[in-house]
Amino acid sequence: MLTLVQFLEELKQNKQTVVIPGEEVERFVDRFGSSVRGMGFWNKSGDGSVEIPMSNITEAALKLDNRVLTEAIEQLKSPQQFTDMLNSSSAASQLIETLSKLYLQQFQQRVERFQDANDPAEIERLRREISQDLFGA
């Protein structure tokens, strides 16, 4: 059995992501605003989907207070469709905001590492990651 820390490390190392399809992203944007597109990598030049690292989802869930987390758990247990649960929940807005902040912080950290880097291989890797986030290419 994995400990919580081992599980989180495995999520981060495997770089697993959750993809929200473009149509669903647009429904969320209509309900919660454009910050939905900032929860992860927005494939704006492609299918409009948003890819969210699973480690970010885990971290965001850990940052929610017990009341919000309990509400989210109850919603997940209900037989409603996932989209319907998010649309009716203030917990969803908090989760979206937390995910957007995490993704922005990670982007800012990559930019800072890029600016401070001396290793040409690291500079190139960070340049590609930053370019991907900014331009989708």
Q: Where exactly are the structural domains of the chain?
A: 4-108
The C-alpha atoms of residue 114 and residue 1 are separated, in whole angstroms, by 37
| 84 and 61 Cβ atoms separated by less than 8 Å | no
Its pTM surpasses 0.75:
no
pLDDT at 93: 76
Cβ contacts of 102 within 8 Å, gap of 6 or more = 56, 59, 60
The pLDDT tens digits along the chain (137 residues) read 778 777 767 766 667 788 989 998 898 888 778 888 999 999 888 899 999 988 888 888 888 877 776 775 665 456 454 555 455 556 777 888 889 999 999 999 999 999 999 999 999 999 998 988 888 75
